[in-house]
């Protein structure tokens, strides 16, 4: 039974990242809606479905507790703003034909997570992490030359998601996934309404409800598509190691990269391949560092016993 729990955790975690890997395929179905309209609908839809889940699991008291505690509220306010920015930037990337650059953002994510740990929590870099950051920096320079501009979409995605992950890990790790998603979507609900009011006031207006029943249906379930992998991930990640999560997390950006390259036919000139290759080499050092530090931690515990 003890062995089956980690195996179940691996399967659930892998399933969550697999679903995230299909996100570009889903969100391209929402064209011709603009990223601004989609983010508004996505937040409202996510809130609706997350409150349904909170009701099913009878977690209303936990949700109320977040808003009656100043520290918890501020934690989820910051987390909510970061996730809103991450969702919005991702939609801009996918809906404007930059799926490969969005995949790059999630490849870079482990490196930016290390950097944020150094900047905000004064963590010391280990040798393999220094190497990874050095190679990653060179890769960003190469990709900047390739794109003809700084890859701001990729780095913005990486930084907002890393920041969100750090906030959740440091200050909200004991909060249930359904409660956390509900709290985050509640605090960013005003931004969703502002986004929709802005789109409605433009000459193009809202697309919702005007592009056919299938399009309307996909817009409505955008929130459900958002929270399902989050709940699956929360259930799986509890019973497996951080090293396992670190390895599995590359499933999503690999799938997104292949979708952009093979399905969307986005260009990949030689210098861009060089940049991506450098990023993948840097990730090898990140993963190696995770494995080495995890083994040292286990040995230290064994010695202490």
Q: Three-state SS string across the chain, please?
A: CCCHHHHHHHHHHHHHHHHHHCHHHHHHHHCCCCHHHHHHHHHHHHHHHHHHHHHHCCCHHHHHHHHHCHHHHHHHHHHHHHHHHHHHHHHHHHHCCCHHHHHHHHHHHHHHHHHHHHHHHCCCCCHHHHHHHHHHHHHHHHHHHHHCCCCHHHHHHHHHHHHHHHHHHHHCCCCCHHHHHHHHHHHCHHHHHHHHHHHHHCCCCCCCCCCCHHHHHHHHCHHHHHHHHHHHHHHHHCCCCHHHHHHHCCHHHHHHHHHHHHHCCCCCCHHHHHHHHHHHHHHHHHHHHHHHHHHHHHHHHHHHC
Q: What is the pLDDT of residue 1?
A: 40
Domain range for residue 67? 4-124+152-268
Q: What is the pLDDT of residue 247?
A: 80
On whether residue 300 sits in a domain, the answer given is no
On whether residue 145 sits in a domain, the answer given is no
Q: What is the pLDDT of residue 305?
A: 57
On whether residue 280 sits in a domain, the answer given is no
Separation of alpha carbons 155 and 107, rounded Å = 10
Q: Which residue in 265, 262, 244 sits closest to 254, CA to CA?
A: 262
On whether residue 290 sits in a domain, the answer given is no
Q: Which residue in 279, 251, 250, 283 sits closest to 143, CA to CA?
A: 279
What is the total count of domains within the chain?
A: 1
On whether residue 289 sits in a domain, the answer given is no
On whether residue 129 sits in a domain, the answer given is no
Per-residue pLDDT tens listing for the chain (305 residues) = 444 556 788 899 899 999 999 999 999 999 999 999 999 999 999 999 999 999 999 999 999 999 999 999 999 999 999 999 999 999 999 999 999 999 999 999 888 888 888 888 777 888 888 999 999 999 999 999 888 888 999 999 999 998 988 888 777 777 888 898 899 999 999 999 999 999 999 988 999 999 999 999 999 999 999 999 988 988 887 777 767 777 888 999 999 999 999 999 999 999 999 999 999 999 999 888 888 876 776 666 565 55
On whether residue 159 sits in a domain, the answer given is yes
Q: What is the pLDDT of residue 44?
A: 97
What value, to the nearest 5°, has the Cα angle with vertex 231 and ends 227 and 233?
Answer: 115
Q: What is the pLDDT of residue 39?
A: 97
On whether residue 274 sits in a domain, the answer given is no
Q: What is the pLDDT of residue 2?
A: 47
Token digits for 278? Answer: 């450098």
Separation of alpha carbons 16 and 114, rounded Å = 23
Q: What is the pLDDT of residue 204?
A: 85
Separation of alpha carbons 166 and 204, rounded Å = 38
Specify whether the CB–CB gap between 158 and 103 falls below 8 A: no
Q: What is the pLDDT of residue 299?
A: 66
**Predicted TM-score (pTM) of this structure:** 0.90
Q: What is the pLDDT of residue 301?
A: 59
Q: What is the pLDDT of residue 117?
A: 82
């Amino acid at each position: 039974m003890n062995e089956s729990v980690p195996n179940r955790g691996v399967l659930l975690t892998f399933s969550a990242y697999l679903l995230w890997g299909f996100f570009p395929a889903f969100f391209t179905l929402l064209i011709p809606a603009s990223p601004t309209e989609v983010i508004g609908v996505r937040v409202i839809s996510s809130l609706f479905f997350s409150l349904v889940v909170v009701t099913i699991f009878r977690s209303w008291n936990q949700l109320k507790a977040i808003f009656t505690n100043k520290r918890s509220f501020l934690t989820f306010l910051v987390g909510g703003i970061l996730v809103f920015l991450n969702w919005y930037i991702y939609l801009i990337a996918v809906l404007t034909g930059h799926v490969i650059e969005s995949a790059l953002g999630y490849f870079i994510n482990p490196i930016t997570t290390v950097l944020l740990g150094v900047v905000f929590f004064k963590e010391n870099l280990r040798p393999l992490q220094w190497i990874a950051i050095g190679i990653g920096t060179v890769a960003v320079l190469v990709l900047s030359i390739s794109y003809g501009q700084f890859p701001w979409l990729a780095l913005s995605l990486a930084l907002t998601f890393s920041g969100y992950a750090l906030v959740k890990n440091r200050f909200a790790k004991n909060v249930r996934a359904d409660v956390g998603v509900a709290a985050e979507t509640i605090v960013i609900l005003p931004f969703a309404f502002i986004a929709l009011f802005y789109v409605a006031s433009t000459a193009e207006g809202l697309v919702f409800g005007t592009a056919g029943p299938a399009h309307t249906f996909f817009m409505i379930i955008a929130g459900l598509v958002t929270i399902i992998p989050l709940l699956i991930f929360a259930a799986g990640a509890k019973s497996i190691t951080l090293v396992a999560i670190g390895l599995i997390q590359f499933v999503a950006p690999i799938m997104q990269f292949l979708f952009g390259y093979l399905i969307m036919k986005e260009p990949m000139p030689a210098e861009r391949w060089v940049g991506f290759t450098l990023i993948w080499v840097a990730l090898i050092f990140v993963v190696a560092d995770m494995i080495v530090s995890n083994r040292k931690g286990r040995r230290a515990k064994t010695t202490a016993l």
